[in-house]
Structures are given as C-alpha cells and as structure tokens.
Amino acid sequence: MADLENKITVDERLGHIAFIMDGNGRWAQKRMMPRTYGHKHGAENFKNIVRYCGDIGIKAVTVYAFSTENWGRPKNEVDTIMNLLSQYLDTCEEEMKIHNIRYKFLGDMSVFTPELRKKIEHVEELSKDNGLLLNVALNYGSRAEIVHAFKVLAAEGKREITEEDISGALYTAHCPDPDIIVRTGGDIRLSNFLLWQAQYSEFYFTDVLWPDLSPSDVDEIVREFYRRKRKYGKV
C-alpha cells in the first residue's frame, strides 16, 4: 500500500474486495422517504464506489446486489430494484468503456426475462477483455451456488471431488477468493454471501449505510486491511 499525498493505492495483496451493500432501506427511512428511494441512491453510490476501487488499483470488485431471499420483499420494492437493474444495464456500455470494467453476473439468471438475460449476456460478452473485474451477485445465494456446483460436477460424472473442483464449479470460478468482505449497514452477518469463498477473507463491518459509503471510507477499509496479519492457519 502506498499513501502518497493522501492518495491510497493497493498492491497485489488486496486484489479482490467484496461488498454486502446493505442499509439502503434505513437510509431512506431516516429521510422519511420510501425504501425504494434508498435503492436509487444505493445504485448511484455503487457506481461511485466501483470506480473508486478501480482508481486505487483494486483488480476485482464483487457486490451483493440481490439475494435469493430478497424475492420475499414487497412487490413494489422488488420491482423497483429490477427496474434499477435494467436501467443500470442500459448504462453499462458507457461505464465499461470509460472505466475499463469487465462485467460478470453471479447467480441463477434463468429466473429473469429473456430480455434482461440478453442484456446481461451482451454486457458480459462486450466487456470480456476489460481490466477491472466487477462481479454483480444477482439472484445470488451462496447455498444455491454450492448446490448448483454439485449438480454441475454430478452431471460431469465426477467421483473424486476436490476443493479445486468445487471452486471451479462455482459462479466465481473465474476469480480468486475475496481478500476482504465489507458489509455496510451495521449488521454482522454474511446473509448467504460467498460462504465457500470466504474461507480466509478478512471481514470489515461498518455502521455506515451503503448510500453513504464514501471513497474516504474505502481508504479506511484499505488501511485496516493492511493492518491485519493474514496467517492461513500458520504461525
């Protein structure tokens, strides 16, 4: 880590950061606004934070955008999130060009409309040679992901199953495990996010609500990461 003139940059030790983007609803409620208002601001901030992570040299960012359990929310909230997603996908082409983003969507996309899936596939294909990997976990649940991986391995007729086989059959097969998992919004849990991949991830929990997370908060996360000593079970 270099902190020249207050500009933080990272090295290969911090290649992959993951965010549980939590607290949109409470952010809106604090302003006497509907929860959906928080999702709009959360979506805006997501773009800012991803760009900032790229600026400081992080190679891969994973965000938890919508869980397999989030379908249980009121219909108008789910509809708003899906509309935001669709609007976001429409702006992706510009984002990917300006910020060199390579998009990957993690989760079971089969539940989405053919139109939305086409957009997702288009964005992934168009950005596949870009540099900054952005994994968007969407209709994602870690247990569902693990079950899916086992089904893939079973269909291949695998008998001797290794850890590498399982990692390679997960939605995250294309990238290393996260070095740090950040959760905003004050709750201290994973909520079905990257259970397998979190094996030796560092964890960072903050009370800051997602729409308020700022570049200087990211700087503090980076500084805290470099204060940690990762031991991987060794001495």
How many DSSP H helices and E strands does the chain contain? 7, 8
The partner in contact with residue 178, picked from ligand IPE, Mg ion, none with C-beta cut-offs of 5 to 8 angstroms by kind, is none
Catalytic annotation, pick one of 70, 177, 212, 219: 70
Q: What span, in angstroms and rounded, lies between the C-alpha atoms of 172 and 140?
A: 11
User: How buried is residue 235: exposed, middle or buried, by Cβ count under 10 Å (0-12/13-18/19+)?
Assistant: exposed
State the Cα angle at 158 between 174 and 141, rounded to 5°. Answer: 45
Looking at beta carbons only, is 22 or 202 nearer to Mg ion? 22
Which residue has its beta carbon closest to ligand IPE? 25
Known catalytic membership, residue 22:
yes
Q: Which of 3, 6, 11, 22 is catalytic?
A: 22
Here the contacts of 75-82 (C-beta below 8 Å, separation 24 or greater) are: 76/36, 77/35, 77/36, 77/39, 80/36, 80/39, 80/40, 81/39, 82/116
Relative to beta strand 2-4, strand 7-9 is: antiparallel
Positions in the binding site for ligand IPE (CB under 6 A): 20-26, 64-67, 70, 81, 185, 187, 189, 191
> Length of the chain, please?
235
Q: CB of 26: closest distance to ligand IPE in angstroms?
A: 3
Q: Which is nearer to Mg ion, 22 or 179 (CB)?
A: 22
> Quick one: 8 or 172, whose CB is closer to ligand IPE?
172
Q: How far is the CB of 188 from ligand IPE (least distance, A)?
A: 10
Judged by beta carbon, residue 54 or residue 185, the one nearer Mg ion is 185
How far is the C-alpha of 175 from the C-alpha of 167, rounded, in Å?
10
**Least CB distance to ligand IPE at residue 72 (A):** 9
Question: CB of residue 190 vs ligand IPE: minimum separation in angstroms?
Answer: 8
By annotation, the residues acting in catalysis are 22, 70
